[in-house]
Every structure is written in structure tokens, then in C-alpha cells.
Amino acid sequence: MYASLKGKVAIVTGSGREKGLGQAILERFAAEGAKVVVSDLGRAQTHMGEGDIGTTDEMEGIAAAIRDKGGEAVAIPCDVRRDEQCKALIDGARDAFGRVDILVNNAGIGYIMKPLTDVAPDEWDAVLSVNLTGAFLCTKHAAIAMMEQGDGGRIINIASQAAKSGFPHMAPYTASKHGMIGLTRSNAIELGPHGITVNAVCPNHVTTGLGAKQNAYFSKLLGFDSVDAYLANMKAKNPMGRPGLPGDTAGTCAFLASDEAVYITGEAVNVSGGEEMH
């Protein structure tokens, strides 16, 4: 649908989990003819109750599935909290495909849900280091590569409805996503002269694996009898009558990365079915 994406090289962080939002974004770029880089932690890691995420096998499986459909894909592990690993991610993409055209900062932590007064400093640091510092580090190294190439690029930050509105029991996540919009706007100003656009996408709730954990938590917090009742209420409040789907966000990313969006930068685009309008 976007001919300008054919042959472009796209990196999506946090894209190594089956049925995750990152995977949906990655697969949309592959369907558009882009060469894609699957990136996640690349190793089994248990951190603050999240469980094993972004394993090497998952990453390789997602890349292999894209190749089986005729696409071009490689898997490169990256802990986005580490500057040297973020640089290695960008360098690895250039080694594999010769350049970097698109970076989607999707890696994030959203599973720490508790009252503000119960949040430990290491939990706060964990969320900010992945969600915000990770976007900064990957953007820095992608921007260097794009400026060296000399023909522009696209950087897309996956923020959230929580980048526009506050939510109870999610102070670290909400703060990190509000910060991501500030980072987006500042970087758009700096990188615009180089032909690099920087935008944020702000989806409402999307029931991925992480979203399911949030459903379970907030259905109890808000006094619903079941997760189904909580989801029914969520649908009733939305003008479009449903929560978000991974494809909604993926389609917006494809548009922002295309030539159709060449004059759009510094924006924080709501993808919420009208639930968020500012």
C-alpha cells in the first residue's frame, strides 16, 4: 500500500515476542516490502515478575516466518538500556542490509502496577530506563547512521494513551510515556534539517500479552466482577466500540514511515478510536 517502503530497512525494538505489538509493526513493514530487523532481549530473562521475554528462539522464529513468506529479516538482540548494545543494533542492521531507514522504538515495560506509595526506586528506574532511556539511546545511534547516509529517515516512538492522560497505579509508566513525547518533539526539531522525521504513536489499550496482565489488574482495582465485564465497559466508553488492535498501531507506523508523511514531524498521534482526543 505504501510503495515508498519497498526496500527500506526498518528496525523495531521489542519485536521479539509472539503476538506482541512490536511483532505486528514488524510484520506490517515486511508486508510493505521493507527489510526488517527483529530486536528484543534475545535471552530468557526473569525481571520483576515479567517472566521469560524476548528469547532468542522467539526472535529467530519471527524472522524465519517473515523469510518463509519471501521477506528479508534478521534477528539482532539488544538490551535498550545499554548504550553499546544500541549502537551494535544499528551497526548490525547496516551490516546486514547496508543502511537504516526506519527505527521504531517499541521496547517497553508496562507490568509494574501498584500504588505510588508502594513503588520501589528500582522499579521506577527499570521502567524509565527501558521506556525512555532506551528510546533515547536507540534514536541517538540511528540518527547518527541516518545523518551519515545523508538522505533522511524516520523515527517512530510507541508512546501510549498514558502519554496524554494520567492513570492510577501506573506512575512510572505514565511518566515515561509523557517523557517520550517530550523526547519526540525535541528530536524532531534537531533532526528535521537532516530530513529525519520523529513522531510518536499513542495507542489506547491493546490486549497483547502485556495488555492481558493490565486487564486482570485493573478489573480488580476498579471493582469489576470479571475481566469480561471490565472489557465490556471499556468498549462501551469508546466511540468506536472496541479497544485497540495491534494492526491499528502498525498501520499508523507504516503511514508515518512512508513518503506520504514526509512533512509530518514532532507529532503525537492518537490511535484510540476517539477515546483520546488531545
Can 173 be counted among the known catalytic residues?
Answer: yes
CB-based burial, 75-100: b 16+ in 10 Å, e otherwise: bbbbbbbeeebbbbbbebbeebbebb
H or E element in which residue 92 lies: helix 83-97
Can 230 be counted among the known catalytic residues?
Answer: no
Return the closest-CA partner of residue 145 out of 189, 203, 92.
92
The one catalytic residue among 87, 111, 177, 230:
177
Give the alpha-carbon dihedral of 22, 94, 132, 152, to 10 degrees.
-100
Give 94's contacts (C-beta < 8 A, 6+ positions apart): 100, 145
The one catalytic residue among 35, 173, 230, 263:
173
- Please identify every residue annotated as catalytic: 173, 177
